[in-house]
Amino acid sequence: MAAGFVERISAIPEYASGGVTTEELLTTAKQTFEQLVAALRNGRTELDGELASAARALGGRRARAGIPPESLMSAVRLDFPVIWTELLALVDPADGAALNSRVEEVWNVVDQYATQTRNGYLDERVRMAHEEAVVERDFIAQVFAPGGQGPESLQRIGAALGLDPEAALSLAAARGEAGAVLRTLGVAPAVRSRVYIYESGDLVYGFWKIPAGGSPLPPGLSRIPCGLVPSVRGLAGIRDAALEAEALARVAHEGDDGPLDTESAWPRVARRLLEDARLPLRAAVDRSLEACRPSERERLEETARSILATGNVTATAAALFCHRNTILNRMARFQEVTGIDLSVPEQAARLVVAWA
């Protein structure tokens, strides 16, 4: 019976290609048929603990061997025709009716064995996935570690992650609800590029390979408030990019309709650093403008914001439908009230940070 089973199983490609050795197949087949026949001989219709354990162990071994589940089930269900063929060869034709009355019993035992084998396979796959996830998290954590990694270590990390260590990458960092969204991208099926997730403190980081000729943002990230470093030079640049993205993530807020990068959000970062150093620029500007009437303050702020955005008096006059001289007068008044000359870049930068 075991030899007949091994012959039949060669029609399944994963077994024919040597996924499991012939010796292993023959040994397992002998043990399986001995147990199944013993169960049938004793009239058992339910698998006992020993046979169920053997089936689950078989499923676990095949999971480790990389046999696909559908191929495993095809192989296990060959037990029935092998047993039935042997029974037909042994019985007298006159006993055919009696044998046929037991077909359901034989099939039921084989089916239970197949079910337990599948359960063992699935349990082992869960354990394997957990082990793989733990190992992968460790490799990801290494690229975020202070001090960085050497070229050889980066090569090993890249091989473990299936990623060229010098690939062009992007990295994002997020907190709170935005962090939860970023976390889900790490388990979502990759559309064009997989997102690798790392968590530290209240921040969730994700990095991914930039698709050739494609958007640097994976689907789902374009609308969440987070810190973004759109261009990272390989795994060696992840640590520094993470620090940059963290600074951006900490100034992102719910009102933002997408990621912040350094080019767009540097004033916010500068303002936060100054506030941490007890140098609140905005408070000083606000106190100065409180001396103005509400309508005057509104006009002065409108003019100052336009100048900061355009850097051009003529463009501001056109945008605010005013004469150029009106804009110059407002700028002079703004300087009189706040001490900030909007035509001097260094002083204007103070206002850009204060109003960030």
**Interval 277-287: pLDDT, tens:** 888 888 888 99
Q: What is the number of domains present in the chain?
A: 3
Look at residue 83 and tell me if it is in a domain: yes
Asked whether residue 291 falls in the same domain as residue 336, the answer is yes
Q: Which residue has the tokens 């979502």?
A: 188
What SS3 state is found at 256? coil
pLDDT score, position 38:
84
Domain membership of residue 144 (yes or no) is: no
The answer on 205 and 88 residing in a single domain is: no
Render pLDDT for 62-98 as a digit per residue (tens, 0 to 9).
998 889 999 999 998 888 888 888 877 777 777 767 7
pLDDT tens-place string over residues 323-334: 999 999 999 999
Domain shared by 48 and 122, yes or no: yes
Choosing from 133, 163, 195, the residue where a domain stops is 133
- 98 assigned to some structural domain: yes
Report pLDDT for 96.
67
For residue 313, what pLDDT is reported?
94
CATH number, residue 50: 1.10.490
pLDDT score, position 45: 62
In a domain, 110, yes or no: yes
What DSSP assignment string belongs to 326-342? HHHHHHHHHHHHHS--T
**Residues 263-273, mean pLDDT to the nearest whole number:** 90
Domain boundary among 70, 98, 133: 133
pLDDT in the model for residue 17: 78
146 in any annotated domain? no
pLDDT digits (tens, 9 = 90+) for 115-152: 999 999 999 988 887 777 788 899 999 999 988 788 89
- Which residues span the domain enclosing 251? 155-260
Residue 240 domain-assigned?
yes
Q: Range with the lowest mean pLDDT among 28-42, 43-57, 194-208? A: 43-57
**CB atoms closer than 10 angstroms to residue 329:** 13
Averaged pLDDT for residues 10-25: 83
Gap between the Cα atoms of 58 and 67, Å rounded: 11
pLDDT grade for 190, boundaries at 50, 70 and 90: low
198 and 94, same structural domain? no
Extended strands (E) in the chain: 168-175, 195-200, 203-209, 227-233
Let me know if residue 138 belongs to a domain: no
Please tell me whether residues 17 and 57 are part of one structural domain: yes
Q: Which runs of E-coded beta strand occur in 132-252?
A: 168-175, 195-200, 203-209, 227-233
Cβ neighbours, 10 Å, residue 82: 23
Query: In sequence order, what are the residues at sequence separation of 6 or more whose Cβ sits closer than 8 angstroms to the Cβ of residue 334?
Result: 300, 303, 304, 340, 342
User: Is the pLDDT confidence value at 315 over 70?
Assistant: yes
174-193 burial code (b ≥16 CB/10 A, e <16) = bbeebbebbbebbeeeeeeb
Q: How far apart are CA 223 and CA 210, in angstroms?
A: 18
Tell me the C-alpha distance between 311 and 314, whole Å: 9
Answer yes or no: do 17 and 113 share one domain. yes
Contact 204, 267 (CB under 8 A): no
**Which strand ranges, in their side-by-side order, compose the sheet holding 195-200?**
195-200, 203-209, 168-175, 227-233
The segment with the largest mean pLDDT, out of 73-77, 161-165, 187-191, 237-241, is: 237-241
**Dist CA 234 CA 208 (whole Å):** 10
Q: Which of 225, 219, 228 is nearest to 170 (CA)?
A: 228
Residue 213 DSSP SS3: coil
Asked if residue 129 and residue 16 are part of one domain, the reply reads yes
193, 127: one domain = no
Do 13 and 52 lie in one domain? The reply is yes
Picking from 78, 101, 133, the residue at the C-terminal end of a domain is 133
Cα(1)–Cα(242) distance, integer angstroms? 61
Judge if 295 and 338 occupy the same domain: yes
User: Quick check: is 267 in a domain?
Assistant: no
Higher pLDDT, 44 or 203: 203
Main-chain dihedrals φ then ψ at residue 312, nearest 5 degrees: -140, 125
* Confidence (pLDDT) at 278: 87
Q: Are residues 256 and 290 in the same domain?
A: no
Query: The CATH number of the domain where 300 resides is what?
Result: 1.10.10.2840
Question: Cα–Cα distance between 54 and 111 in angstroms, integer?
Answer: 14
Polymer length in residues for the chain: 356
Same domain (yes/no): 238, 162:
yes
Name the band, by pLDDT with cuts 50, 70 and 90, for residue 191: low
Reported confidence tier of residue 43, pLDDT bands at 50, 70, 90: confident
